[in-house]
Structure 1
Amino acid sequence: MAPRHFFISTILAVVVTIAMAKIPINKHLKVVTIETEPWMMIDPNKTGLAAYSGYMADYVRRLSDITGFSYEFYPAPDGRYGSKNETTGEYDGMIGEVIKKNAHFAAGPISITSHREIGVNFVQPFVHTGNTILIRKPSKAEVGASRLTGFTVLQPFSTGLWLISIAAFFLTALFLWLLNNYDPYEYGVRATLGHATEREAETFGIQGSLWYAFTTLQWQGFERSPHSVAAKVLSGFWFVYVTLTLLTYTGSLVNCLSIIGAAPPPQRHHIINSIEELFSQNPLKVDFGWLKGGATDSYFQNKRGPMYDVVRAYIDQTNNTVATVEEGLKRVREENYAFIVELSFAKTYINQKPCNLITVGDTFSKRGYGIPIGHEISDEILEPFHQATLEMNQNGEFDALERKWFVDRGDCWSENANAEGMLKPAETTWFTQGKGAQGVIPITIPMFWGPLTILCCGMVIAAAAFIGEVLYYKYKGRYDTRGGPRDQLNDNLTENDDNDKI
């Protein structure tokens, strides 16, 4: 085909499509639906169109206004959305009613799937959704019991910081022991020269040094202070390090216990926070299931992988699927049960009293909701419905319907996050997410460099003082004939003079 002819054909096709979309649909259409709050609600005290209200009722009403058709609603006999019976090959629910030509199209939150498109044609999506996990909000008692362990007291410090702290303890004790054995003015060396008792020398032996470091670490004091300048310098810096360490640990422990004892904020659960965590429980603490025969059921039946094979086998064995969304909701509220459900339904129920439900994890199996139309009438109404839906979307009418039927009707917006954008994926961030195993932010080595640096500086200064004492002893403080350092001899002489004066 020549480029000119192709261009003309394309223009004509577009013109014809637009013209068909603008032609009024002068037909009376039967619309099948099911009662699912707030998508469609049926008032038994009213008749005709007045008995039907909800998101889908308003949507169909606008389609009628734009395209010019008249219509009537009727409920699906089995109250189902529509799935294929693999044995008979027939569809049930609203999809089945459309395929059997009992209805021209269906109005409800019907997911667009490849299996359903075999039997019907779908109008372009008016809502984008996916699957999420609906679960009961845990109580403070449940959260605390699940988080408190025998190692809770270790959580304020990271593993690396605990190791560094233990190393600092042993290094300090080792340094004191070395000074005791090599500093000429410390008890150990003095005892070998007869100027200190064995008891004094043992104060900073290997056991005594460890005990001195431990008792001062516990703020329990000590029996005897060091004698040399180097050991006193080291002790002073060790005391500063101990004070900063204990204050930091105490503050972090208080924060840790406060977080553990508090219930998690919205969109956070103490056990399950992803589909992987839900499916990989061992042992099983939270049971799970989904709506039988729906798009979610189809998703898991066709999902491949070792984890999903095990899940399918478990569901088949336990029959944990539910017949209706209401049944799944009841199990979530009354049992330890996680309901895998489409996000639109989950968001409806978490914002209804008693406000004890949350959604957790990322949205998966994303898809759209669309209106299914029978093949025999698609040529007449599919394109006009496409254009009308596009026009409503451009005018922001679906956002208005969302606010009217979801946001404004919610009872729990003050307790559940994500009031903006009702059908958007739930936020799962938490101020402790991605931190310690129990949601606690531990003190790490980079956060504790100050006290560690102080202790290191103390060791360096103590080493310098030790060298100074050795040099002083070597050149000016030589031992006299009695075996004691001269400064010690001078101290003894001064003490004797004072006694003579007395």
Structure 2
Amino acid sequence: MEFFTHSTLLEMECPIPVTDELVKMVAEGVFDAAVGDIAIVTNRTKIVDFTQPFIASGLVILAPIKNTKSSAWIILQPLTVEMWCVTAASFVLMGVVIWILEHRLNDDFRGPPKRQLATIFLFSFSTMFKATKEQIVSALGRLVIIVWLFVLMVIKASYTASLTSILTVKQLSSPVTGIEDLVASNWPIGYQVGSFVPGYLVENFNIARSKLVSLGTPEDYERALRQGPIKGGVAAIIDERPYVELFLSKQTEFGIVGQPLSKSGWGFAFEKNSPLAVDMSTEILRLSETGELQKIYKKWFCRKGCFTEKIQQSKSNQLPLSSFMGLFLFCSFFLLIAILIFLLQTVCQFVRCKRMQMDPSSSSSSTSSESFSSRCSQVMRNYFSFIDKKEDTIKKMFKHNSHPESQASSSGV
């Protein structure tokens, strides 16, 4: 016995029967069974019994596609805008931290303000190419550089992989990227005559029926998609995957976009409580287990190869900030620890220096005459002036202040 499916009728350009009416005729006893490409949906299962699905189906969106031309700024596509901004800010932040840690020890990070500012930016961005001429001498600075080079290695490797994918993988684009575009716009949407698609779209997506256009043959599909919504055609067609794959086996200017809208299957319809439904289900399961069902599917639907490729939007290859959030937090943690250790060391030195320079006779009078805010501002100015000095100068000052004490102790002995 030869079975005719809906897809074979499409190939033979025969009129497409209204499936809902056919199922109603089975429920009313006009036919004992309906054998064909009948989608198993809720409203049909209420009036008839279906066999096990013999083909996995589901609604997909068919739309025109085109090759995306490479732009002059394709080198910016691997990273999102947020990722570029955060990466650039990280370079500047790392340069500032290194300058703070090296300023007291390293002559390369000292000099006029313009030179120091240029050193911060040039050093930070030159780490990307490992071409820094400035040497890092402090232990905290070396720790920060090690962590930063690790972060930079991960970002560079990810950027290279993403750019390679963009340049080598065939990029396709479509004005329709998913059901959201169709819902938000007034573009007409095509569907197959006799399909359950209109009711599904109205109930689940609140799409007006006036936007839905019925199409009968593959030629109608092609003509409506080529015309587009502006010239009286449709922006996209929503149909079941087997039909779409059969259509795409002969067409290269169209493709499946977005995610599947539903997952269902095709089955044979019988009257309620019909024993034939159980027997057919058993046979379908046997064919599925032996692999014969897949062979039948390939014979009728994949004569020229099944089309399963989806559109690859260029945005899918972009690296979002969320993927590197843990890496940036890891780097920020070490930068914060290094700055805290540096501040602790310099504050201890500053307090020690002030104790050595303090005059006990004048401290009480000055304290009473000055306000708290003025004393705080004076202390902050003195502190910044202190940390601006070279480390060798501070060590010599400590040594000079402690030298008379050592002499006094030796003379007393």
The alignment's TM-score, normalised by the length of structure 1, stands at: 0.50
Cα pair distance change 1:394/1:105, threshold 3 Å = closer
Cα RMSD (Å) of the superposition? 5.5
- Which residue pairs with 2:308 in the alignment? 416
Q: Deviations over 1:272-300 (max 9, x none)?
A: 6653x34355697xx63322442122323
Question: Aligned to 2:190, what secondary structure does the other structure show?
Answer: strand
Q: Which has the higher contact order (CA 8 A, sep 6+)?
A: 2
Residue 221 of structure 2 is aligned with which of 297, 316, 328? 328
Cα pair distance change 1:208/1:331, threshold 3 Å = same
Question: Aligned to 2:308, what secondary structure does the other structure show?
Answer: coil
Look up the equivalent residue of 2:117 and give its one-letter code: L
Structure 2 Cα separation of the partners of residues 148 and 155 of structure 1: 13
Q: Deviations over 1:340-385 (max 9, x none)?
A: 1123323444555659634641452646533356xxxx8xxx7342
Structure 2 Cα separation of the partners of residues 441 and 412 of structure 1: 38
Question: Aligned to 1:79, what secondary structure does the other structure show?
Answer: coil
Cα pair distance change 1:297/1:264, threshold 3 Å = farther
Q: Which runs of 5+ in 1 are unaligned?
A: 1-30, 44-74, 84-90, 188-199, 418-427, 479-502
Q: Which runs of 5+ in 2 are unaligned?
A: 229-233, 350-390, 402-413
Q: Deviations over 1:149-202 (max 9, x none)?
A: 9776556947665554443333344556xx4xxx5x888xxxxxxxxxxxx998
Cα pair distance change 1:155/1:259, threshold 3 Å = farther
Cα pair distance change 1:150/1:400, threshold 3 Å = closer
Report the structure, 1 or 2, having the larger helix content: 2
Contact 2:18/2:193 (<8 A) preserved: no
- Which residue pairs with 1:392 in the alignment? 283
1:58-73 residue pairs with structure 2 within 5 A?
none
Cα pair distance change 1:441/1:116, threshold 3 Å = closer
Cα pair distance change 1:243/1:474, threshold 3 Å = same
1:23-172 residue pairs with structure 2 within 5 A?
36-38=6-8, 79-83=16-20, 91=21, 94=22, 105-112=33-40, 121-127=48-54, 129-136=56-63, 138-141=65-68, 157=83, 163-172=89-98
Q: Deviations over 1:244-283 (max 9, x none)?
A: 6665544433323233345479xx97776653x3435569
Residue 297 of structure 1 is aligned with which of 184, 198, 215? 198
- Please say which structure displays the higher CA radius of gyration: 1
Are 1:218 and 2:125 an aligned pair?
yes
Structure 2 Cα separation of the partners of residues 364 and 201 of structure 1: 63
1:256-335 residue pairs with structure 2 within 5 A?
256-263=162-169, 274-275=178-179, 277-281=180-184, 288-301=189-202, 303=203, 308-309=205-206, 311-312=207-208, 315-317=209-211, 319-324=212-217, 327-328=220-221, 331=224
Are 1:203 and 2:83 an aligned pair?
no
- Which residue pairs with 2:236 in the alignment? 338
Q: Deviations over 1:120-158 (max 9, x none)?
A: 74453544655321435845426x67x969776556947
Structure 1 Cα separation of the partners of residues 195 and 165 of structure 2: 39
Residue 326 of structure 2 is aligned with which of 446, 456, 463? 446
Cα pair distance change 1:329/1:385, threshold 3 Å = farther
Cα pair distance change 1:250/1:477, threshold 3 Å = farther
Question: Aligned to 2:189, what secondary structure does the other structure show?
Answer: strand
Cα pair distance change 1:477/1:449, threshold 3 Å = farther
How far apart are residue 109 of structure 1 and its match?
Answer: 1.3
Cα pair distance change 1:156/1:257, threshold 3 Å = farther
**Percent of residue pairs identical:** 9
Structure 2 Cα separation of the partners of residues 151 and 416 of structure 1: 26
Q: Deviations over 1:7-55 (max 9, x none)?
A: xxxxxxxxxxxxxxxxxxxxxxxx9x97633489779xxxxxxxxxxxx
Structure 2 Cα separation of the partners of residues 151 and 353 of structure 1: 30
Cα pair distance change 1:219/1:149, threshold 3 Å = closer
Structure 2 Cα separation of the partners of residues 415 and 470 of structure 1: 75
Contact 1:132/1:360 (<8 A) preserved: no
Contact 2:26/2:48 (<8 A) preserved: no
Contact 1:350/1:416 (<8 A) preserved: no
Cα pair distance change 1:337/1:299, threshold 3 Å = same
Q: Deviations over 1:451-481 (max 9, x none)?
A: 6677668767877987574662223257xxx
The alignment's TM-score, normalised by the length of structure 2, stands at: 0.58
Structure 1 Cα separation of the partners of residues 275 and 217 of structure 2: 33
Contact 1:353/1:411 (<8 A) preserved: no
- Which residue pairs with 2:274 in the alignment? 383
Are 1:364 and 2:262 an aligned pair?
yes
- Which residue pairs with 1:19 in the alignment? none
